[in-house]
Amino acid sequence: MARKRISQQPRRTILVVTATEAEALYFSQMRKDCRYSNLSVVWEPNCKDLEHLITVTGKMRNSQNFSSAWALFGFSDLNETVQHVKELEEFAEKKKVKLAWNNPSLPLWYLLHLQQPKGFVADPTMIERALSQPFPNFRGDAAYLLKDGMNLHLRLYAAKSKAAVNASAYNALVAPKLGLAATNVVAMLNDITDICGLADLTHNQKQLGLQKKNG
């Protein structure tokens, strides 16, 4: 008798293309910590503007047949405006690219793990100063994530749910004035969880515990 062929659905994959190296490093930390093997994080070092980032993301999505693709950026990093981002939403949709952002920059997402700002914070340096208290030597650049902040994602992970709640409350506070949410990273993270499944941080948490003990 002939064996029955077992049909399997192709494994879904997700792509995140970032405008900055820091964004790529942080979400690569997440990929490693959570063991998300079907998540790809790519930094676009020649990113000129948001339209360029969307175009590159769309090309990568098509060439490698990703199930879902996100272009991640900070408003201050690309000198973006709310109006221009809104104008490019239709272009992104045509390219089958989803947009994820922080206004002004990625450190806002870190801060939301700890607190909800009482009003819109447009200056990235103010956020960096607030983060330098719980994280000595904090900087929002890639150099920090390559050295002192190489375990930042793992250190923040326990407060992930709090960050989502704070982000929702912060957006409700500032979006009516800005005309757009200050961050929509939660939507991207939900998509990653949907495609990659639940995180497995067991090994990484043990490693972090050993580092704290030895440090």
Residue-wise pLDDT tens digits, 163-211: 999 999 999 999 999 999 999 999 999 999 999 998 887 766 555 554 4
The whole-number pLDDT of residue 8 equals 59
Whole-model pTM over 0.95: no
Q: What is the DSSP letter of 11?
A: P
Residue-wise pLDDT tens digits, 1-13: 455 555 456 789 9
What backbone torsions phi and psi does residue 64 show, to the nearest 5 degrees?
A: -115, 5
End-to-end Cα, the chain, rounded Å: 63
- Residue 38, Cβ density class (10 Å: 0-12 exposed, 13-18 middle, ≥19 buried): middle
d(CA 60, CA 66): 8
| Residue pLDDT tens, the chain, 215 long | 455 555 456 789 999 999 999 999 999 999 999 999 999 999 999 998 999 999 999 999 999 999 999 999 999 999 999 999 999 999 999 999 999 999 999 999 999 999 999 999 999 999 999 999 999 999 999 999 999 999 999 999 999 999 999 999 999 999 999 999 999 999 999 999 999 998 887 766 555 554 454 44
